[in-house]
Chains A and B, each alone.
Chain A
Amino acid sequence: MFEVFGIPSTALFGQLLLGLINGSFYALLSLGLAVIFGMLNIINFAHGAQYMLGAFAAYLLLQYSGLGYWWALLIAPIVVGAIGIVIERCFLQWLYKLDHLYGLLLTFGLALIIEGVFRNFFGSSGLPYSVPPTLQGAQNLGFMYLPIYRGWVIVFSLVVCLATWFVIERTRLGAYLRAATENPTLVRAFGINVPRLITLTYGFGVALAALAGVMAAPIYNVSPQMGANLIIVVFAVVVIGGMGSIMGAIVTGFGLGVIEGLTKVFFPEASNTVIFIVMAIVLLIRPAGLFGRAV
């Protein structure tokens, strides 16, 4: 036990860890938002609801078919991603020629529906979801105790983020995606099925949100409104980072999580608002966002 700036090291590193965990969710969600916005030109307001769906999928899989965390980690993103594909085919595909605002309004409506339905069936109080047995316990690192599950969340989400970056920036499929973002008509002329690419992109972004939801289930309770407040913070993260760069979204997500964690230690009153304050400062100094190109 030692102290840093008069704060016991366990408290400091504990909050830092929590900040990194929040940061990994910010990163996963803002990554999904950025990928979806790039292809569909739609800000997916339902992203928070889809994150919540991921957590509920994990909970329901355990309750009704006895499938545990590891299965949920695989199945939930696929199921929720499939729901996303249905949403894209039924609703979003009619909006691409309209103003951006309509996409935001439609997905806002979808978020209200999804969250409202779940609140009616599961109530507002959280449902518990336990940490999988293999990841229980904690490791003593000397300066703090690291709960193994929390370490796993940070490492795994970092891996997922970097894998996404790799796919988009370094593979042939990613090259198609980036090309279709720049000029869909030209890419279609080369014989690539752009509408299907768009559908799959939306499904993938939604699946990322669901994956984050499954990982969040053992840390926070599973509750219908778990995504509603998170999505607003993620919007602020997206404004700070700018949606132009995948790596930018990852770095901003983790960075803001850490800032939030540190604020909880040194100035707890502002911990809810610090990300919004950072957003205001970034808007004053670099209006295009840290990694954004000027619009």
Chain B
Amino acid sequence: MQHLADQKGAGPVRSYSEAIAFAIMLAALIVAPMLVYPVFLMKALCFALFACAFNLLIGYGGLLSFGHALFFGWGAYLAAHLAKVGKLTLPYWFGSWQWLTIPLPPLPPELAILGGTLFAALLGLIVGALAIRRQGIYFAMITLALAQMMFFFAIQAPFTHGEDGIQAVPRGKLFGLVDLADPTNMYVFVLVIFLACFLLIYRIINSPFGEVLKAIRENETRAISLGYKTERYKLVAFVLSATFAGVAGATKSLVFQLASLTDVDWPMSGEVILMTLVGGLGTLFGPVAGAFFMVTLENYLTQIGQWVFVVQGVIFVVCVLLFRRGMIGELAKVLRVKL
């Protein structure tokens, strides 16, 4: 992953570049709902967060997960279920299969999202612990395979309602006070979640933990010889990434009031990779730019139906062959700053 470090050597690092870029992004996101349809913006924000979570893993840890739809989709399923039904039934083995019922009422949105997030973190722990046992290309294949397994589980589990998905999820009242059925309130809520997670990811990347992660990306053997338990670092990075992906999915299920099989299927994993790649792997703002670009593009391409996949494929090929730094990566190179 040597090339990812390119931009650091591109010139003198101006320490304010990231702060300025953040201010521009913030201003744009505050002004945007006056110009653009809020649901579209909320969709883009959810995918931007999803892509940032994915980027945390590949851009800074050098781990390509091909199964991130798993965390996004199951975060969405659980949040939607908690917000709409609440009651949890879990099978357990005690001589024979029994059902353990936790009688919960339908939960308010903040708890529903929290529930979805925690579940995604748990899945991240299980999948991550299995996947980090192999490196490189195998890691991608294992995450893809485990995600596909959970996709089949999503088809069979009764609470996901199969092809229909969980529909008409109520947005509810935030902390019992703010009515999220109102688009403006919902937009502010999504924006706050996005910004909080974005800043948290920024903090993680620039923490000592993040530095060790980058060292592992550049040269894992050397990191091991320096005494770092790289497997633990990779596992923590994986769980963090899964958790943020879960937040994105859970929020998305409230925005669209829907959690469906599309969210857990492998094309979704491909899409988040594409967003991150288009924006720029290993850049802070790249995933956000990439997500807005792809969501906008798909918005215009809805008329052409199935050709969307062809367009996505072409963008993949072009990016990999000619444009590996991505939009923000190229911009950072031209401006000679860190973004």
- Which residues of A are in contact with B by a Cβ distance under 8 Å? 37, 43, 91, 94-95, 98-102, 104-106, 108-117, 119-120, 228-229, 232-233, 235-236, 238-239, 269, 272-273, 276-277, 279-280, 283-284, 287-288, 295
Q: Is B85 an interface residue (CB 8 A)?
A: no
Taking a contact as CB atoms under 8 Å apart, the answer to whether A113 and B134 are in contact is no
B309 surroundings in chain A (CB, below 8 A): 112-113, 115-116, 119
Type the 1/0 row for B132-159, where 1 means its CB is closer than 8 Å to any CB of A. 0111111011101110110011001000
Q: Are A104 and B130 in contact (CB under 8 A)?
A: no
A-B contact sample (17 more), CB < 8 A, given A114-B313, A120-B306, A120-B307: A98-B3, A105-B277, A106-B320, A109-B312, A109-B314, A112-B270, A113-B313, A120-B310, A233-B145, A235-B141, A236-B141, A236-B145, A239-B145, A276-B149, A280-B146, A283-B133, A284-B133
Closest chain B residue to A236 by CB distance? B145
Closest approach, in angstroms, between the C-beta of B97 and any C-beta of chain A? Answer: 12
Decide if A109 touches B316 in the complex (CB within 8 Å). yes
Q: Give the residue name and chain of the B residue nearest to A95 (CB).
A: B320
Q: Does B266 contact A (CB under 8 A)?
A: yes
Contacts of A232 in B (CB 8 A): 144-145, 148, 266
Chain A hits for B273, CB < 8 A: 105, 108
- Say how far A72's CB is from chain B's closest CB, in angstroms: 26
Residues of chain B lying within 8 A (CB to CB) of residue A272: 152
**B317 contacts A110, C-beta separation under 8 Å:** yes
- When C-beta atoms are compared, the residue in chain A nearest to B281 turns out to be A101
**Contact: B134 with A283, CB < 8 Å?**
yes
Verify A280–B130 contact, CB threshold 8 A. yes
B181 at the A interface (CB under 8 A): no
Give A235's nearest chain B residue, CB to CB: B141
Taken together as a complex, chains A and B put the C-alpha atoms of A261 and B249 apart, in Å, by: 35
**CA distance in complex: A273, B147 (Å):** 11
**Chain B 304-336: CB-based contact to A (< 8 A → 1; otherwise 0):** 001111101111110111001000000000000
Overall SS of chain B's interface: helix
Instruction: Evaluate contact between B142 and A283: CB separation under 8 angstroms.
Output: yes
Contacts A109-B320, A273-B153: A287 and B312 contacting too (C-beta < 8 A)? no
Complex interface: chain A residues within 8 A of B153 (CB): 273
Across the interface, A102 reaches (CB within 8 A) one of B138, B145, B310, B324, namely B324
B231–chain A nearest beta-carbon distance, Å:
11
Take A112-B270, A280-B130 as given contacts and tell me if A100 and B136 are in contact as well, using a CB distance cutoff of 8 Å: yes
Of the residues B58, B134, B141, B146, contact of A43 by C-beta under 8 Å? B141
Complex interface: chain B residues within 8 A of A235 (CB)? 141, 144-145
* Bound CA–CA A34/B144 (angstroms): 18
Cα–Cα distance between A129 and B156 once the two chains are bound (Å): 30
Instruction: A108 to B271: give the CA distance in the assembly, Å.
Output: 11
**Residue in A95, A101, A115 with the greatest tally of chain B CB atoms within 10 Å:** A101
* Chain B proximity of A64: nearest CB distance (Å): 23
Q: Is B1 an interface residue (CB 8 A)?
A: yes
* A contact residues around B284 at 8 Å (CB): none
